[in-house]
Amino acid sequence: MNAASAAQPDTLQSQVESLLGQINNALYTYILIILLVGVGIYLTVRTGGVQVRHFGTMVTSILRSRGGAEGGISSFQAFAVGLAARVGIGNIAGVALAIVAGGPGALFWMWVVALIGMATSFTESTLAQIFKERGRDFTFRGGPAYYIANGLGQRVWARVFAMLCIISVGITVVMVQTNSLAGVINATVPSVQPWMVGVFMVMLTGPVVLGGLKAVARLTEWMAPVMALVYVVATVIVIVINLPELPAVLSSIIRGAFGLEQALYGTAGGILAALLHGVRRGLFSNEAGLGTVPNAAGTATVAHPVRQGLIQSFGVFIDTIVVCTATGLLILLATKTYSPETYSEENTDAVGAVLTQRAVVEHLGQWTTWPMVVLIFVLVFSTVLGCYSYSQVNVNYLGGERRSEQVFGLALTAAAYGGCVLSLPIVWALTDIALGLLGMINLVVIVRLAPWVIGALRDFQAQYARGIDPVFVGHSNPHLPGDVVPGVWEASDSAPRD
C-alpha cells in the first residue's frame, strides 16, 4: 500500500469528524439553546415556578417514595434509575471538558440550565405518568413515545422517537461512557489494556440487563444514591481544606460567565464559549428536556403523576447543582492541576475524567487514585444500567417481547465492550447530535401537551391544600383536557375531587 492510499482513510475520517462537528455546533448554537431556555422559561411561568414553590414537596416526596409499588417498580426505584443515568461520566468528564473549553464561567451556565430545566423535567416526567400504559408483571411503561402516541395521536413520530432513543441512548451513549472508563483505567495502570476493561464490563453488564427492568431497578435503587453521596462528601472535605480559596473560585465562575476577565474565557473565547459549553455539557449531564428520563419516570407505580414529576425534577437539582458543582469546584481549586491560562495548551488526553481524577489526587493525595477509579467505574456502570432502562421502554413500545428485550440486552452489552476498544470522536459527535434531535422532538411535544400537566398540577394542589394525600383520576377529571388511557388511572372512591 502506497503512502497516498494509506493516508486516505485518515483524510476521510477527518472530513466526517469535521462535518459532524459543524452539524453539532449549529444544532447546539442556533437551535437547542433557544429551545431549551425558551421552553424552560415558558414552563416555569406556566407552572407558576413549580421548581421553587414545590421544592419542599420534592424533598418530602423522595423521603416517602420507597414503598407502594404493589409488585411493580416503586417511585424511588424509578427516581434511582433516572439518577443513575444522569449522574455519570457527564458529571466527571463533561464538567471538565466544559471548564477547559469555556472557562470557569461554563459552570455558571450549567447552573442556569439546571434551574430552568427543573420545570422542563417536571413537565416531561409528569406526562410520562399521565399517558403511561400497563405492561407485564405489574409494571408500567411510559415516556415520550407513549405521550406522543396517546397524547397527540402521532404514532409515526412516536416510533421515530423510540428508534432514535434506542440507538442513541442504548448504543452510542453506552459507548461514550465505557470509553471514558477505559481511558481512566489505562491512564492509571498502563498495563491494563482497554480490551480487558471491555471484557470486565461485559461480565458485569450482561447478567444484569438480561434480567430485565426489575433487576436493573433493584440494583440502581441503592447504587445511585450511595455513589452520589460518596462523591459529594469527598468534595465537601476538599472545600473545607481549601476554604480560604473558595471566594476567589466563585468569583472566577461569575466573572468568567459574563466575560469580565480575558484569562477566564476558555479556548473558544468570550462569554459565548462559556455559554455554549456550559449549556451543552449541562444538557448532556442532567438530560432535562431530552426525553430520556421520562422513560424511567413512566415505569413508577404512584398515586398521582405530579408526585413523580416533582421527584424527577429534584434529580436535575442533585445532578447539576450538587454533583456537577462538586466536580467544578474540585477542578478549580486544584491550581497545580488546572489553570485557565495554560491548561488548553496541555495534552488533550488529560482532559475529561482524567483531569478530575488528577484534581482529587492533588487535594487528597496519591492514595485517592484507585478510589477515584472505583467511583468512576460505578458512575459509568450505573449509567449503562440507566441507559438500558430508557431504551428497554422504547423496545417495548415498538412491540418487543421477552426475546426482543434479550436481543437488545446483548446489543447493549456489545456496545459496552465496543466503547472500551474503539476511538470514539465520531461516536461522541453522533451522540450529541442524536440527543439533540431527541430534545428537539420532545421539547415541541411537551409544549403542546402542557395543558395536561397544568391540569394535573391543579388537581394535585387542590387536594394537597385540603390536607389530602393526592390521588389521580384520569377520567371525567374537570382539571384535565380529556380522558387518559383506559385501565391505568381509573376512578376511585379514595380520590376526592373539588
H/E segment holding residue 436 = helix 425-448
Q: What is the pLDDT of residue 87?
A: 67
Binning the chain into helix, strand and coil, the percentages to the nearest 5 are 75, 0, 25
User: What pLDDT score was predicted for residue 183?
Assistant: 78
| Average pLDDT over the chain, rounded to an integer | 78
Of the pLDDT bands very low, low, confident and very high (cuts 50, 70, 90), residue 72 is low
- Residue 25 pLDDT: 73
Give the integer Cα–Cα distance in Å for 326 and 236.
Answer: 8
Q: pLDDT grade, residue 125 (50/70/90)?
A: very high
Q: How far lies 373's CA from each of 91, 130, 184, 379, 387, in Å? A: 14, 40, 7, 10, 21
The CATH classification of domain 20-457, taken from the options 3.40.50, 1.10.3210, 1.10.287, 1.20.1740 = 1.20.1740
403-439 per-position pLDDT tens digit: 677 777 788 888 888 888 776 667 777 777 888 888 8
Inter-residue contact 75 to 68 (CB < 8 Å): yes
SS3 134: strand
Q: Are 309 and 297 in contact (CB under 8 A)?
A: yes
Give the dihedral sign, CA 276/281/287/288.
Answer: negative
DSSP 452-485: HHHHHHHHHHHHHHTT-------SS-TTSSS---
Any idea where the domains of the chain sit in the sequence? 20-457
Are 239 and 334 in contact by the 8 Å Cβ rule? The answer is: no
Q: Is the pLDDT of residue 130 over 90?
A: yes
The single-letter code of the amino acid at 227 is: M
Mean pLDDT on 344-366: 65
pLDDT at residue number 394: 86
Its pTM stands at 0.81
Radius of gyration of the chain (CA): 22
pLDDT at res. 453: 94
The 8-class DSSP code of residue 141 comes to E
Regarding predicted confidence, which is higher, 283 or 249?
249
C-alpha cell at 436: 439533540
Let me know: does 435 contact 284? Beta carbons within 8 Å.
yes
- Give the ranges where 287-352 is alpha helix by DSSP (H): 294-297, 305-316, 325-333
CA nearest neighbour of 297 among 80, 57, 54: 80
User: What are the beta bridge partners of residue 133?
Assistant: 141
More confident residue, 118 or 14: 118
- Name every residue whose Cβ is closer than 8 Å to that of residue 306 and which is 6 or more positions away in sequence: 126, 456, 457, 459, 460, 470, 472
CA neighbours closer than 13 Å in the CB half-sphere of residue 244: 0
- For residue 368, count other CB atoms closer than 10 A to its CB: 16
Please give the pLDDT value at position 379.
78
Which of 445, 440, 473, 491 lies closest to 153 in space, CA to CA?
A: 445
What the block records as the C-alpha cell of 158 is 412516536
Has residue 4 got a pLDDT over 80? no
Judged by DSSP in three states, 60 sits in helix
End-to-end alpha carbon distance in the chain: 79
Phi then psi for residue 163, to 5 deg, are: -65, -40
